[in-house]
Amino acid sequence: MYIHFEFGKRPPEQAPELPSRTEGQGSLYEALLAHALHQDRLVWDVSQMLIAVQGGVLISGYALRSHWFAVAILLLGAFLTLFLLALVRKHELDRDVNRRLLDSLAESLVPENVKHQLRRTKTSEPIVRISAAAPHSHMRGRFILRTVIFALIAVDIAFAGLIYFAPECLPPVQSK
């Protein structure tokens, strides 16, 4: 007995219709926007890892302050924080790789009457925005995250230096 199957061929009456140009652009816009939002979530996931790493490093550095190992832990924490900063930067670059394409797709998807109405109020901003414009350009998440990361690295190094060079400045370890 012989059975023959043909895959991928449909009768002409069941052939799918091709999407219109706007539908195809809308699907591409949705896919690119989903990718950008995913990468943005990864940035904030790394910032949560940063909180966990720094919490452990600072607590263990303080708990072991009378031992040389505390300096090693704090310096390792500073190194791990730099590594997490590099990971944040990679996710930001991956997120922003299609930003111009997203802006141009958004521009083409918005109806002309809506564009005309929006252009009267805002002249230089993109038609579609994912977040509100910051009142001051330096008060953005990217700047704040980098400032916090460098401050934590400075605290790690300063605390390691204090433990190594001036341990008498710290309260003594109390044994139970």
Show the tokens assigned to 100: 């111009």
Q: Is residue 19's pLDDT more than 70?
A: no
pLDDT tens, position by position, 124-143? 666 666 666 656 666 777 88
- What's the pLDDT at 149? 92
The pLDDT of residue 74 is above 90: yes
**Residue 152: pLDDT band with limits 50, 70, 90:** very high
Tokens coding 170: 């710290």
Rounded CA separation 84/43 (Å): 10
- Asked if 25 and 108 touch (Cβ cutoff 8 Å), the reply is yes
CA nearest to 57, candidates 74, 69, 72, 79 = 74
Q: What is the structure's pLDDT at 18?
A: 41
Q: What is the pLDDT of residue 5?
A: 46
Residue listed under structure tokens 């605390």 = 159
pLDDT digits over 28-54, tens only?
888 888 998 999 899 999 999 999 999
Residue 55 is encoded by which pair of tokens?
């919490």
